Structure 1
Amino acid sequence: MASQVIDKHREKAEIYHGDDICKQKSIQLLTEMDLPKGLLPLNDMEEVGYNRETGFVWLKQKKTTEHTFQKVGKKVSYAPEITAFVEPRKFKKLTGVKTKEILIWLTLSDIYIDDPSSGKITFMTPSGLSRSLPVAAFELEEDEGAAKSAEKEKKKKEEEAAMT
Protein backbone atom coordinates (compact mmCIF):
# COMPACT_ATOMS: atom_id res chain seq x y z
CA MET A 1 0.00 0.00 0.00
CA ALA A 2 2.67 2.53 1.03
CA SER A 3 4.72 1.76 -2.10
CA GLN A 4 1.76 2.77 -4.30
CA VAL A 5 1.47 6.06 -2.43
CA ILE A 6 5.22 6.63 -2.85
CA ASP A 7 4.92 5.98 -6.60
CA LYS A 8 2.27 8.72 -6.87
CA HIS A 9 4.64 11.31 -5.34
CA ARG A 10 7.88 10.14 -6.95
CA GLU A 11 7.76 12.25 -10.12
CA LYS A 12 8.67 15.66 -8.68
CA ALA A 13 10.51 14.38 -5.61
CA GLU A 14 14.10 14.73 -4.49
CA ILE A 15 15.27 11.12 -4.11
CA TYR A 16 18.46 9.90 -2.46
CA HIS A 17 19.96 6.41 -2.21
CA GLY A 18 22.51 4.95 0.22
CA ASP A 19 22.70 4.93 4.01
CA ASP A 20 25.03 7.90 4.54
CA ILE A 21 23.26 10.40 2.28
CA CYS A 22 19.82 9.17 3.43
CA LYS A 23 20.71 9.71 7.11
CA GLN A 24 22.05 13.16 6.26
CA LYS A 25 18.90 14.05 4.27
CA SER A 26 16.53 12.75 6.98
CA ILE A 27 18.30 14.92 9.59
CA GLN A 28 18.23 17.86 7.17
CA LEU A 29 14.46 17.35 6.71
CA LEU A 30 13.87 17.23 10.48
CA THR A 31 15.94 20.42 10.88
CA GLU A 32 14.00 22.13 8.07
CA MET A 33 10.69 21.14 9.70
CA ASP A 34 11.92 22.33 13.11
CA LEU A 35 11.58 18.85 14.64
CA PRO A 36 14.14 17.11 16.90
CA LYS A 37 16.97 15.60 14.85
CA GLY A 38 16.90 12.27 16.71
CA LEU A 39 13.25 11.53 15.86
CA LEU A 40 14.14 9.11 13.03
CA PRO A 41 17.02 6.91 14.23
CA LEU A 42 16.94 4.60 11.19
CA ASN A 43 19.58 2.06 10.13
CA ASP A 44 20.70 0.68 6.77
CA MET A 45 18.65 3.25 4.90
CA GLU A 46 18.18 2.60 1.21
CA GLU A 47 16.10 5.54 0.02
CA VAL A 48 14.74 8.90 1.14
CA GLY A 49 12.33 10.87 -0.99
CA TYR A 50 10.76 14.27 -0.48
CA ASN A 51 8.18 15.89 -2.76
CA ARG A 52 8.24 19.53 -1.67
CA GLU A 53 5.16 20.32 -3.77
CA THR A 54 2.90 17.88 -1.88
CA GLY A 55 4.88 17.72 1.39
CA PHE A 56 5.10 13.95 1.05
CA VAL A 57 8.20 12.23 2.42
CA TRP A 58 9.24 8.59 2.52
CA LEU A 59 12.12 6.73 4.10
CA LYS A 60 13.09 3.16 3.29
CA GLN A 61 15.42 0.98 5.33
CA LYS A 62 16.45 -2.66 4.86
CA LYS A 63 14.53 -3.95 7.88
CA THR A 64 12.49 -2.82 10.89
CA THR A 65 14.46 -0.83 13.46
CA GLU A 66 13.56 -0.66 17.14
CA HIS A 67 14.93 2.21 19.19
CA THR A 68 14.50 3.12 22.85
CA PHE A 69 14.52 6.80 23.67
CA GLN A 70 16.34 6.52 27.00
CA LYS A 71 15.28 9.83 28.55
CA VAL A 72 11.58 8.91 28.38
CA GLY A 73 11.93 5.11 28.37
CA LYS A 74 9.90 4.80 25.16
CA LYS A 75 10.48 1.99 22.68
CA VAL A 76 9.64 2.84 19.08
CA SER A 77 9.49 0.55 16.05
CA TYR A 78 10.24 1.90 12.57
CA ALA A 79 9.00 -0.27 9.65
CA PRO A 80 11.10 -0.80 6.52
CA GLU A 81 8.94 1.86 4.84
CA ILE A 82 7.88 5.08 6.59
CA THR A 83 5.74 7.76 4.96
CA ALA A 84 4.27 11.08 6.07
CA PHE A 85 3.13 14.48 4.94
CA VAL A 86 5.36 17.11 6.51
CA GLU A 87 4.96 20.76 7.32
CA PRO A 88 6.76 22.93 9.87
CA ARG A 89 6.74 21.17 13.26
CA LYS A 90 4.45 18.36 12.00
CA PHE A 91 4.32 14.85 10.55
CA LYS A 92 0.76 14.08 9.41
CA LYS A 93 -0.74 10.83 8.08
CA LEU A 94 2.37 9.03 9.32
CA THR A 95 2.73 5.33 8.47
CA GLY A 96 5.30 2.76 9.60
CA VAL A 97 5.95 4.04 13.14
CA LYS A 98 4.71 2.39 16.35
CA THR A 99 5.37 2.99 20.02
CA LYS A 100 5.12 0.51 22.85
CA GLU A 101 2.79 1.43 25.68
CA ILE A 102 2.89 -1.05 28.57
CA LEU A 103 2.44 -4.32 26.64
CA ILE A 104 0.94 -3.22 23.32
CA TRP A 105 2.27 -1.54 20.20
CA LEU A 106 0.32 1.55 19.13
CA THR A 107 0.50 2.94 15.61
CA LEU A 108 1.37 6.63 15.43
CA SER A 109 -0.41 8.82 12.87
CA ASP A 110 0.77 12.32 13.77
CA ILE A 111 3.76 13.90 15.49
CA TYR A 112 3.72 17.62 16.15
CA ILE A 113 4.99 20.51 18.23
CA ASP A 114 2.11 22.94 18.80
CA ASP A 115 3.99 25.50 20.82
CA PRO A 116 7.81 25.45 20.51
CA SER A 117 8.15 27.38 23.78
CA SER A 118 6.43 24.53 25.69
CA GLY A 119 9.36 22.16 25.03
CA LYS A 120 6.83 19.39 24.32
CA ILE A 121 6.27 17.16 21.29
CA THR A 122 2.97 15.31 20.86
CA PHE A 123 2.51 11.81 19.44
CA MET A 124 -1.00 10.85 18.30
CA THR A 125 -2.60 7.54 17.31
CA PRO A 126 -5.26 7.15 14.59
CA SER A 127 -7.88 6.77 17.36
CA GLY A 128 -7.01 10.21 18.74
CA LEU A 129 -5.07 9.08 21.83
CA SER A 130 -2.05 11.28 22.35
CA ARG A 131 0.88 11.79 24.65
CA SER A 132 3.17 14.80 24.95
CA LEU A 133 6.81 14.31 25.90
CA PRO A 134 9.86 16.60 26.22
CA VAL A 135 11.34 17.56 22.85
CA ALA A 136 14.83 17.20 24.39
CA ALA A 137 14.31 13.42 24.70
CA PHE A 138 14.35 13.14 20.89
CA GLU A 139 17.45 15.17 20.08
CA LEU A 140 20.48 13.42 18.58
CA GLU A 141 22.82 12.08 21.26
CA GLU A 142 25.83 13.61 19.47
CA ASP A 143 24.21 17.06 19.54
CA GLU A 144 23.64 16.73 23.25
CA GLY A 145 27.20 15.47 23.80
CA ALA A 146 28.59 18.38 21.81
CA ALA A 147 26.49 20.82 23.81
CA LYS A 148 27.75 19.33 27.10
CA SER A 149 31.37 19.45 25.87
CA ALA A 150 30.97 23.08 24.85
CA GLU A 151 29.47 23.87 28.27
CA LYS A 152 32.39 22.14 30.08
CA GLU A 153 34.88 24.00 27.89
CA LYS A 154 33.17 27.32 28.66
CA LYS A 155 33.23 26.64 32.43
CA LYS A 156 36.89 25.64 32.26
CA LYS A 157 37.77 28.92 30.48
CA GLU A 158 35.73 30.94 33.00
CA GLU A 159 37.53 29.23 35.90
CA GLU A 160 40.92 29.86 34.29
CA ALA A 161 40.00 33.50 33.72
CA ALA A 162 38.85 33.83 37.33
CA MET A 163 42.21 32.50 38.57
CA THR A 164 44.27 35.12 36.71
Structure 2
Amino acid sequence: MASQIESHRSGAEIVNGDAICRKKSIELLEELGLPKGLLPLEDIEEFGYNRGTGFMWLVQKKKKIEHTFKKIKQTVSYANEVTAFTEKGKLKKITGVKTKELLLWLSVVEVYITDASPDKVTFKTGTGLSDTFDAAAFALGRELRCCYKANVDGFSATDFHRHWLHGHRRCRRRGHAVMFGRLAFLLI
Protein backbone atom coordinates (compact mmCIF):
# COMPACT_ATOMS: atom_id res chain seq x y z
CA MET A 1 0.00 0.00 0.00
CA ALA A 2 2.85 2.39 0.81
CA SER A 3 4.15 2.15 -2.76
CA GLN A 4 0.65 2.94 -4.04
CA ILE A 5 0.57 6.04 -1.84
CA GLU A 6 4.04 7.09 -3.02
CA SER A 7 3.02 6.84 -6.67
CA HIS A 8 0.13 9.30 -6.08
CA ARG A 9 1.95 11.86 -3.88
CA SER A 10 2.95 14.05 -6.81
CA GLY A 11 0.23 16.68 -7.22
CA ALA A 12 -1.69 15.53 -4.14
CA GLU A 13 -3.02 17.69 -1.34
CA ILE A 14 -1.39 16.27 1.81
CA VAL A 15 -2.03 17.31 5.40
CA ASN A 16 -0.64 16.01 8.69
CA GLY A 17 -2.11 15.97 12.19
CA ASP A 18 -5.26 14.36 13.54
CA ALA A 19 -7.58 17.39 13.61
CA ILE A 20 -6.86 18.66 10.09
CA CYS A 21 -6.76 15.13 8.62
CA ARG A 22 -10.13 14.31 10.15
CA LYS A 23 -11.56 17.60 8.84
CA LYS A 24 -10.23 17.04 5.30
CA SER A 25 -11.45 13.43 5.14
CA ILE A 26 -14.94 14.48 6.27
CA GLU A 27 -14.95 17.30 3.69
CA LEU A 28 -14.00 14.81 0.96
CA LEU A 29 -16.73 12.35 1.95
CA GLU A 30 -19.24 15.20 1.95
CA GLU A 31 -18.03 16.37 -1.48
CA LEU A 32 -18.47 12.82 -2.82
CA GLY A 33 -22.00 12.62 -1.39
CA LEU A 34 -21.08 9.86 1.08
CA PRO A 35 -21.92 9.78 4.82
CA LYS A 36 -19.43 11.80 6.87
CA GLY A 37 -18.98 9.08 9.51
CA LEU A 38 -17.87 6.39 7.05
CA LEU A 39 -14.17 6.54 8.05
CA PRO A 40 -14.04 6.83 11.87
CA LEU A 41 -10.26 6.47 12.13
CA GLU A 42 -8.36 7.56 15.24
CA ASP A 43 -5.10 9.48 15.64
CA ILE A 44 -4.72 10.13 11.91
CA GLU A 45 -1.17 11.09 10.97
CA GLU A 46 -1.65 11.84 7.28
CA PHE A 47 -4.44 12.45 4.79
CA GLY A 48 -3.77 12.76 1.09
CA TYR A 49 -5.97 13.32 -1.93
CA ASN A 50 -4.84 13.49 -5.55
CA ARG A 51 -7.70 15.10 -7.48
CA GLY A 52 -6.08 14.24 -10.81
CA THR A 53 -6.10 10.49 -10.19
CA GLY A 54 -8.97 10.41 -7.67
CA PHE A 55 -6.74 8.56 -5.18
CA MET A 56 -7.12 9.23 -1.45
CA TRP A 57 -5.38 7.81 1.60
CA LEU A 58 -5.41 8.00 5.37
CA VAL A 59 -2.59 6.83 7.65
CA GLN A 60 -3.29 6.37 11.36
CA LYS A 61 -0.82 5.80 14.21
CA LYS A 62 -2.32 2.52 15.39
CA LYS A 63 -1.81 -0.68 13.42
CA LYS A 64 -5.56 -1.14 13.17
CA ILE A 65 -8.77 -0.20 14.90
CA GLU A 66 -12.14 -1.86 15.07
CA HIS A 67 -15.28 0.23 15.05
CA THR A 68 -18.84 -0.98 15.55
CA PHE A 69 -21.56 0.97 13.81
CA LYS A 70 -24.14 0.58 16.55
CA LYS A 71 -27.26 1.33 14.50
CA ILE A 72 -26.58 -1.65 12.22
CA LYS A 73 -24.51 -3.74 14.67
CA GLN A 74 -21.71 -4.09 12.11
CA THR A 75 -18.04 -4.27 13.11
CA VAL A 76 -15.47 -2.86 10.70
CA SER A 77 -11.68 -3.05 10.96
CA TYR A 78 -9.50 -0.23 9.62
CA ALA A 79 -5.81 -0.95 8.94
CA ASN A 80 -2.96 1.48 9.57
CA GLU A 81 -3.32 2.67 5.95
CA VAL A 82 -6.68 3.04 4.21
CA THR A 83 -6.69 3.87 0.50
CA ALA A 84 -9.33 4.24 -2.21
CA PHE A 85 -10.06 5.72 -5.59
CA THR A 86 -12.92 8.19 -5.54
CA GLU A 87 -15.83 9.06 -7.80
CA LYS A 88 -19.01 10.97 -7.09
CA GLY A 89 -20.96 8.79 -4.66
CA LYS A 90 -18.33 6.04 -4.61
CA LEU A 91 -15.11 4.76 -3.05
CA LYS A 92 -13.63 1.92 -5.11
CA LYS A 93 -10.52 -0.28 -5.06
CA ILE A 94 -10.49 0.21 -1.29
CA THR A 95 -7.62 -1.25 0.73
CA GLY A 96 -7.31 -1.47 4.51
CA VAL A 97 -11.00 -1.94 5.37
CA LYS A 98 -12.57 -5.24 6.46
CA THR A 99 -16.00 -6.14 7.75
CA LYS A 100 -16.90 -9.04 10.00
CA GLU A 101 -19.49 -11.47 8.66
CA LEU A 102 -20.23 -14.35 11.03
CA LEU A 103 -16.69 -15.46 11.99
CA LEU A 104 -14.90 -14.21 8.87
CA TRP A 105 -13.24 -10.89 8.09
CA LEU A 106 -13.97 -9.88 4.48
CA SER A 107 -12.19 -7.07 2.62
CA VAL A 108 -14.43 -4.19 1.62
CA VAL A 109 -13.47 -3.17 -1.93
CA GLU A 110 -16.24 -0.71 -2.80
CA VAL A 111 -18.69 1.60 -1.05
CA TYR A 112 -21.30 3.52 -3.01
CA ILE A 113 -24.58 5.40 -3.01
CA THR A 114 -26.81 5.37 -6.09
CA ASP A 115 -28.94 8.23 -7.41
CA ALA A 116 -31.97 5.93 -7.24
CA SER A 117 -31.63 5.51 -3.46
CA PRO A 118 -29.40 8.23 -1.97
CA ASP A 119 -30.42 7.27 1.58
CA LYS A 120 -28.81 3.81 1.24
CA VAL A 121 -25.10 2.87 1.30
CA THR A 122 -23.94 -0.35 -0.36
CA PHE A 123 -20.76 -2.18 0.67
CA LYS A 124 -19.19 -4.68 -1.71
CA THR A 125 -16.60 -7.25 -0.57
CA GLY A 126 -13.79 -8.87 -2.52
CA THR A 127 -15.81 -12.08 -2.71
CA GLY A 128 -18.58 -10.30 -4.61
CA LEU A 129 -21.02 -10.21 -1.68
CA SER A 130 -22.72 -6.89 -1.04
CA ASP A 131 -24.96 -5.46 1.64
CA THR A 132 -26.97 -2.24 1.77
CA PHE A 133 -27.63 -0.15 4.88
CA ASP A 134 -29.34 3.13 5.78
CA ALA A 135 -26.93 6.03 5.27
CA ALA A 136 -28.05 7.39 8.67
CA ALA A 137 -26.12 4.54 10.33
CA PHE A 138 -22.91 6.23 9.16
CA ALA A 139 -23.82 9.79 10.08
CA LEU A 140 -21.11 11.67 11.88
CA GLY A 141 -21.91 11.58 15.58
CA ARG A 142 -20.41 13.46 18.44
CA GLU A 143 -20.42 12.32 22.00
CA LEU A 144 -20.07 14.55 25.01
CA ARG A 145 -17.55 13.18 27.44
CA CYS A 146 -17.37 14.61 30.91
CA CYS A 147 -14.03 14.23 32.62
CA TYR A 148 -13.15 14.69 36.26
CA LYS A 149 -9.68 14.97 37.68
CA ALA A 150 -9.53 13.21 41.02
CA ASN A 151 -7.04 13.62 43.82
CA VAL A 152 -6.87 12.23 47.33
CA ASP A 153 -9.45 14.80 48.52
CA GLY A 154 -12.04 13.68 45.95
CA PHE A 155 -13.71 15.73 43.22
CA SER A 156 -14.50 19.41 43.03
CA ALA A 157 -16.21 21.63 40.46
CA THR A 158 -12.83 23.06 39.42
CA ASP A 159 -11.61 19.58 38.46
CA PHE A 160 -14.44 19.15 35.93
CA HIS A 161 -14.02 19.66 32.21
CA ARG A 162 -15.94 18.50 29.19
CA HIS A 163 -15.41 18.28 25.48
CA TRP A 164 -16.83 16.69 22.37
CA LEU A 165 -15.13 13.55 21.16
CA HIS A 166 -15.53 11.60 17.96
CA GLY A 167 -15.60 7.83 18.35
CA HIS A 168 -13.86 6.32 21.36
CA ARG A 169 -10.98 8.74 21.88
CA ARG A 170 -9.73 9.33 25.38
CA CYS A 171 -9.26 12.59 27.17
CA ARG A 172 -5.75 13.89 26.47
CA ARG A 173 -5.18 15.27 29.94
CA ARG A 174 -2.58 13.40 31.96
CA GLY A 175 -3.50 10.60 34.31
CA HIS A 176 -5.36 7.34 34.21
CA ALA A 177 -8.87 7.54 32.77
CA VAL A 178 -11.65 5.35 34.09
CA MET A 179 -14.80 5.31 31.95
CA PHE A 180 -18.27 5.00 33.47
CA GLY A 181 -20.77 5.26 30.63
CA ARG A 182 -20.25 8.72 29.26
CA LEU A 183 -18.25 9.98 32.23
CA ALA A 184 -14.48 9.81 32.30
CA PHE A 185 -12.62 10.09 35.57
CA LEU A 186 -9.02 11.22 35.30
CA LEU A 187 -7.01 9.89 38.23
CA ILE A 188 -3.71 11.47 39.25
Shorter-chain TM-score category?
Answer: 0.7 to 0.9
| Offset at residue 118 of structure 1 (A) | 4.9
Structure with greater proportional helix content: 1
Q: 1:104 — aligned with what?
A: 104
- Supply the AA of the counterpart residue of 1:88: K
Runs of 4+ in 1 over 3 A off after TM superposition: none
Q: 1:151 — aligned with what?
A: none
- Aligned partners of 2:76 and 2:99: how far apart in 1? 4
Which gives a bigger RCO, structure 1 or 2 (Cα 8 Å, sep 6+)? Answer: 1
Q: Secondary structure at the match of 1:62?
A: strand
Structure with greater proportional strand content: 2
- Aligned partners of 1:119 and 1:28: how far apart in 2? 19
Say whether the 8 Å CA contact 2:93–2:109 is kept in structure 1.
yes
Q: 1:128 — aligned with what?
A: 128
1:14-69 CA deviation, whole Å, 9 max, x = no partner?
00000010000110110111100000001010000000000000000011111100
TM-score, normalised relative to structure 1: 0.84
Asked if residue 37 in structure 1 is aligned to residue 39 in structure 2, the reply is no
Asked if residue 55 in structure 1 is aligned to residue 75 in structure 2, the reply is no
- Aligned partners of 1:118 and 1:111: how far apart in 2? 13
**How large is the Cα RMSD of the aligned pairs?**
1.3
Q: 2:3 — aligned with what?
A: 4
Q: Secondary structure at the match of 2:142?
A: helix
Percent of pairs with identical residues: 57
